[in-house]
Structure 1
Amino acid sequence: MMWQTDILGADFESCAFQATGVDGAERTATLVRHVPNGGEGVTASRELPRRAVLFLHGWSDYFFNVELAQFWTGKGFEFFALDMHNHGRSLQAHTHGGYVADLDDYDAEISRAIGIIEALWPDPGPKPALTLIGHSTGGLIAALWVSRHPDVASSLVLNSPWLEMHGSSLVRRAARTMVGPLARLRPETVLRLPERGFYWRSISSAAEGEWTLDDNYRPPLAFPVRAGWLSAVLAGHSRVARGLRIEIPILVLLSGASENGMIWTEAMRSTDVVLDVNIIAVRAMALGRSVTLERIDGGLHDVFLSPPRVRNYAYDRLSRWIRGYVLEEGATD
């Protein structure tokens, strides 16, 4: 693989690659890795257990959270992030941003990324223990992927995963009934839905937030919602509702409250303006046998983009879970 300096600077490298799905389509994805101090990401001299993290972003998003990478590297993990096809670094001029017709279409690029990661560790020796992380729609994708590939990841972290529609399963069923025929006949049709840029406003340094975002990779109003994409997400929600029976330890982090109004309010600085966190908390219990739920008061939709005091608390909760479920007995972080 040809690694090059990433847009995040000298401490990050990235490489674009092709992955062919079960449908025969070839898609472009981009793997990013953290290389602290511009050095080699994986070194034989480390005396820590072999551990790696792969992060999956949300819809209409890309990886940019340097602080998150530094946290995991500081815990003795090799950190990687995947900009999935039609997103971020992997956007192609001839494709629809954010579009996918079936969430299973991400399987090939996730599996290929993991193969690239594992190849960085020289043989002989065990493959690195993998923690898969997903945010929002990426959390839904990660959970579904782990359920279909049960012997690859050793732990799963979900940051505000989009596991269900607002309200209840009745809303989801009604939405599937309405969007289903259009998704089958004209899947790339744009649905005319209200445009709410409140989440972008809460995190972007160009508005109310503190994070520098590239609007070419993460547009303020997100990509257009297309019928096929929404149908794919709703199908994923239905699979979660039936239960995924994941065996590995799972951590789910959620904001303490939601705020879903149509006009900006100050409460949106300290709540999830995208998801119904209470229904997500219920759905999280259907993921597997060992699920830890952490509610982060004052958290944003991405709890690790919340104001410093709040996200420091979220990192504390994550650290506790890592010590309890991920690190080998006797290891230190």
Structure 2
Amino acid sequence: MEWATDILGADFQSCTIETSGADGTMRRATVVRYRPDSLAAGTGKPRTVHGAVLFLHGWSDYFFNKDLARFWARLGYEFYALDMHNHGRNLDEATTGGYVADLADYDAEITMALDIIRADHTAEQPGIALMGHSTGGLVAALWASRHPGSVQYLILNSPWLEMHGNRFGRRAAQAMVAPLARFRPEMVLRLPERGFYFRSISITAEGEWPLDERYRPPFAFPVRAGWLRAVLAGHAKVDRGLELDIPVLVLTSAASANGMVWQESMRRSDAVLDVDVIAARVMALGRSVTLERVEGGLHDVFLSAPKVREDAYARLARWIHGYMETGPLGTQEKGDT
């Protein structure tokens, strides 16, 4: 395994990993880490390194938020991100963008990324937080439920925990997609294309973030039957309860703005998910769950307008100080009195 300068430029490095899942299929993913020159040279390192964080992007997405990495580093955490297979840095002409037949197919690459972090770790306290956005938040929650004890904290940024509406709509969708997913899993479903979220964040439209459209297409990847079945199955598992025994933080926008035409409210709300449905579902995650609803937040609250994301980061920092800097579930670190 060799680290090389990442597409994000100075201070970011990446390496490609290959893993084999339960089905024996080899899959390629990319681990990104934040390594400022001062840290790489052994100077300017925070006096206390509390642990590390691994970030999972959403569907049709990739890791690009440098500010998120810098935020964690300022608080004394080593930051890593994973571009999952069929996404972002792993895309080529042979890949089916965004496709996965079972969300557990991500397990092997997440596990390997965490092994890399532990081998790379310089902190005395090896606490690791798993952080996921949107579909990555669903993946992170499910992974944590299948691997108890492997991470100490879970942070979800607008996690896609349920379909719009309620569980009855999901069950109807499952019934409709099941035969297609069984016999033609990679069949593209004819669904309306909406690029409103991309419009709200991209510097080429209404936003301020430079996105590489090779890695993050404006209208997302085509929705395929097998992928939708996998997501719906994940929602059903959350609905039944994951019983996580680690502290969980969920951040969402305070409001949603859904529709088939652009609305100005999409500049200050979640244009992808129904945040009220998500808020109702978060308590099924575990026994210690904190919900923060960010007024004016976008689907990714850390890509919102400057004042809004300042609020989102303040809420995240407060939770970190309350949970992560004192150890799991508030236990004090060694040497504290």
Question: What TM-score does the superposition give when structure 1 sets the normalisation length?
Answer: 0.96
Other-structure match for 1:295: 293
Instruction: Using the TM superposition, give the Cα deviation of residue 95 of structure 1 relative to its aligned residue in structure 2, in angstroms.
Output: 1.7
Aligned 1:18-37 pairs, distance under 5 A:
18-37=18-37
* Separation of aligned partners in 1, 2:276 and 2:139: 20
The answer on whether the counterparts of 1:42 and 1:121 sit within 8 Å (CA) in structure 2 is no
- C-alpha displacement of 1:10: 1.0
Secondary structure at the aligned position of 1:10 is classed as coil
How many Å separate the matches in 2 of 1:54 and 1:221?
26
Alignment partner, residue 117 of structure 2:
117
Partner of 1:170: 168
1:128 alignment counterpart? 126
SS of alignment partner, residue 285 of structure 1: helix
Q: Secondary structure at the match of 1:156?
A: strand
Judging changes above 3 Å, is the alpha-carbon distance between structure 1 residues 41 and 60 closer, same or farther for their aligned structure 2 residues?
Answer: farther
* Preserved contact between residue 56 and residue 133 of structure 2 (Cα < 8 Å): yes
Describe how 1:180-329 pairs up with structure 2 within 5 A: 180-328=178-326, 329=332
SS in 1 for 2:199: helix
Moved more, 320-329 or 17-26: 320-329
Instruction: Compute the displacement of 1:92 (Å).
Output: 3.0
Letter in 2 for 1:121: H
CA deviations 1:103-122 (Å, max 9, x no partner) are: 00000000001111111137
Verify the 8 A CA contact 1:54 1:79 in the aligned structure 2. Answer: yes
Alignment map for 1:14-53 (pairs within 5 Å): 14-37=14-37, 39-40=39-40, 47-53=47-53
> For 1:278 and 1:191, how far apart are their aligned partners in 2?
26
2:230 aligned partner, one-letter code:
A
Kept in 2: contact 1:11–1:38 (CA 8 A): no
User: Is the 8 Å Cα contact of residues 59 and 136 (structure 2) preserved in structure 1?
Assistant: yes
Distance in 2 (CA, whole Å) between partners of 1:128 and 1:50 is 8
Alpha-carbon deviation of 1:254? 0.5
1:144 matched to 2:172: no
Query: Which consecutive residues of structure 1, in runs of 5 or more, have no partner in the other structure?
Result: none
Partner-residue secondary structure (3-state), 2:101: coil
C-alpha change, 1:119 and 1:237, in structure 2 (3 Å) is same
Q: Is the 8 A contact 2:50 2:325 kept in 1?
A: no
1:92 aligns with 2:92: yes
> Would the aligned equivalents of 1:5 and 1:14 in 2 still touch at CA under 8 Å?
yes
The aligned residue for residue 56 of structure 1 is 56
CA distance in 1 between counterparts of 2:222 and 2:125 reads: 39
Q: Once the 2 structures are TM-superposed, how far is the Cα of residue 38 of structure 1 from its aligned partner?
A: 6.2
How many positions carry a matched residue from both structures? 330
Structure-1 residue corresponding to 2:103: 103
Alpha-carbon distance change, 207 to 22 in structure 1, aligned in 2, over 3 angstroms? same
Letter in 2 for 1:78: E
The aligned residue for residue 81 of structure 2 is: 81
1:2 has 2:2 as partner: yes
Kindly report the root-mean-square deviation, in angstroms, between the aligned alpha carbons of the 2 structures.
1.9
Secondary structure of the 1:9 match is: coil
Q: Deviations over 1:34-74 (max 9, x none)?
A: 01136429889754244000000000000000000000000
CA distance in 1, matches of 2:121, 2:51: 10
In the TM superposition, structure 1's runs of 4+ consecutive aligned residues that sit over 3 Å from their partners are 41-47, 329-332
CA deviation profile, 1:194-237 (whole Å, cap 9, x unmatched) = 00000000000000000000000000000000000000000000
For 1:268 and 1:141, the matched residues in 2 are separated by 25
Identity of aligned residues (%): 64
Residue aligning to 2:329:
none
Q: What TM-score, normalized by structure 2, do the two folds share?
A: 0.94
For 1:267 and 1:203, the matched residues in 2 are separated by 13
Query: Could you tell me how far apart the structure 1 residues matched to 2:300 and 2:227 are?
Result: 21
Task: State the secondary structure of the residue aligned to 1:215.
Answer: coil
Q: 1:127 to 1:189 in 2, by over 3 A?
A: farther
1:272 partner letter: D
